[in-house]
Amino acid sequence: MNLVRTAMLLAFMTALFMAVGFLIGGRGGMMVALLIAAGMNFFSYWNSDRMVLSMYGAVEVDERSAPEYYGIVRDLAARAGLPMPRVYVIDSPQPNAFATGRNPDNSAVAASTGLLQSLNYDEVAGVMAHELAHVQNRDTLTMTLTATLAGAISMIGNFGFFLGGNRENNNGFGVIGTLAAIIIAPLAAMLVQMAISRTREYSADRRGAEICGKPLALASALHKIAGAAHAVPNMQAERNPATAHMFIINPLNGQRMDNLFSTHPATENRIAALQQMASEFPSTPSFGSTSPVRADRPTRTGRSVPTTGPGRSTPPRGPWS
């Protein structure tokens, strides 16, 4: 079913791309847009994950550079029966995370430094289990393709604005067509994002809670992330709002009319669903241990500085403390 939806999405975005080209340049513009869309579809299928990771300056980590964070993902992936994804860190103070990749064998998960510093062990596990649920449900291909193509549609609308439209074309639209392309195309792309994102978040929350075994930990993480997202801006996301639907919580805080990109269900509703779920399977084994987590801070020399012990009165808050 996800493959059918992805094919329908590509067809719709291609048609939308062609419509924008027609409004800007008539039949010639439509043919050019068709060629561009075909190339974008092919390129995006194979490279959209790398494009999104590069967009956010994500850095790949391993068991040596981020042992606890990497270990959480490794153990959760094994518990879910998934291949080990590539693991990335985004240098951003806003706590958030997303998953990407065209299939489970070519997937990646990324968490911000803000998330790894502000959430505890169980909460980080809940968030990463949610992202692995997206991988397992094969949501990541559609979500990543949508981010790439929606961004391309916005780009071609801006391109039409700078060109001023082809006033000599025979389609009768002229400047009005260009303005329509600029306004309607991003809105249409936004509607696609909303359609593919809202229902899938509930499903990923439920499956993620099953994987980590602690629905309330995921609920607590959602509460913390949502509160911080309104207070701490994510400048990469503000510059690339078409990728907002990929994150576990909408990273946009309204600096640029970003309330239009409301790609997620209400966090309160998601938390309520997880709380209800917690009462359904209280005997589910939890993920990880209940003992405090020792979190070492990586240094430039490769050594780790303990955040607990003599002279350290502040307990660690998470796997990246």
Sign of CA dihedral 77, 82, 88, 90: negative
Task: Tell me if 122 sits within 8 A of 165, measured CB to CB.
Answer: no
**Which amino acid type is present at position 240?**
N
Checking DSSP bridges between strand 107-112 and strand 86-90, what pairing results, if any?
parallel
Cα end-to-end distance, the chain, whole Å: 41
Count of H-run helices and E-run strands, the chain: 9, 6
Helix axes 2-55, 140-163, angle to 10 degrees: 70
CB 89 within 8 Å of CB 110: yes
Active site residue 131: yes
**Own/partner pairs for 183-187, CB < 8 Å, 24+ apart?**
183/157, 185/16, 185/19, 185/20, 185/153, 185/154, 185/156, 185/157, 186/150, 186/153, 186/154, 186/157, 187/260
Supply 253's token pair.
């805080």
Please pick, among 60, 131, 201, 210, the residue that the annotation labels catalytic: 131
Give catalytic residue positions. 131
